[in-house]
């Protein structure tokens, strides 16, 4: 709740600064991939997770804006047994400053993000010990990418972010499966307004 209140206050402050910038903002939506499944649904798997990523950026000054970033991933495993299916819902809620500049049709950017990752896991049968001490984790990271302008309002984006979470399991022997650092790659369409 505190994170949502902080985001609202920053958005209100950013909206006051919109008149100072020729580019008011942009909205991004697209495909996302993280290199490791940190939900412990498949602890021995080295496969990553696919999902979605969306963000909104409001320009504060010419080269710097404030970004709010959301992503979702939904891993699942059946473990080869009937009635033993497990699943998880992972959502990240991040925000922070983003700096960008324009070079012809290309707009590179860099950013720093902080926020929260929320994860809920469910098993069809009794829990197998893969439980976390909390369903929320403070998350921070940094990244960047580039937008390639397609038209005046639309661009194609590619970005890479490094994210760190602090999820901990209740069973100390399972800490070997914890993955606090993940790389996230996203691509999609940007709409500028």
Q: What is the pLDDT of residue 37?
A: 74
Pairing of strands 49-59, 76-77: unpaired
Integer-rounded Cα Rg, in Å, for the chain is: 19
Distance of CA 39 to the CA centre of its chain: 15
Within 8 A by CB and 6+ apart from 144, the residues are 108, 109, 110, 111, 159, 160
**What residue ranges define each of the domains in the chain, with the CATH number in brackets?**
2-192 (2.40.160.20)
Q: What is the pLDDT of residue 88?
A: 82
Within 8 A by CB and 6+ apart from 175, the residues are 168, 169
Q: What is the pLDDT of residue 156?
A: 98
Within 8 A by CB and 6+ apart from 76, the residues are 41, 85, 86, 87, 88
Q: Give 10-residue mean pLDDT values along the chain (193 residues).
A: 55 48 83 83 69 96 95 76 67 96 96 93 55 77 96 96 79 57 95 94
Q: What is the pLDDT of residue 21?
A: 43
CB atoms within 10 A of CB 80: 6
Report the predicted TM-score, pTM, of the whole model to 2 decimal places.
Answer: 0.75
């Amino acid at each position: 709740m505190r994170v949502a209140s902080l985001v609202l206050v920053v958005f209100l402050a950013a909206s006051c600064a919109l008149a100072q910038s020729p580019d008011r903002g942009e909205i991004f939506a697209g495909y996302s991939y993280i290199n490791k499944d940190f939900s412990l649904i498949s602890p021995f798997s080295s496969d990553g997770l696919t999902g979605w990523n969306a963000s909104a950026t409001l320009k504060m000054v010419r080269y710097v804006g404030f970004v709010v970033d959301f992503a979702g991933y939904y891993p699942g495993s059946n473990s080869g047994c009937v009635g033993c299916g497990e699943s998880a819902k992972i959502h990240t809620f991040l925000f922070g400053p983003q700096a960008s500049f324009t070079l012809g049709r290309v707009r590179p950017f860099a950013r720093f993000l902080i926020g929260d990752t929320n994860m809920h896991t469910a098993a069809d049968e009794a829990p197998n010990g893969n439980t976390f001490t909390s369903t929320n984790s403070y998350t921070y990271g940094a990244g960047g990418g580039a937008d390639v302008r397609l038209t005046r309002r639309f661009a194609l984006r590619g970005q890479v972010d490094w994210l760190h979470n602090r999820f901990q399991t209740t069973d100390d022997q399972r800490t070997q499966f914890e993955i606090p650092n993940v790389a996230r790659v996203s691509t999609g369409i940007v709409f500028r307004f």
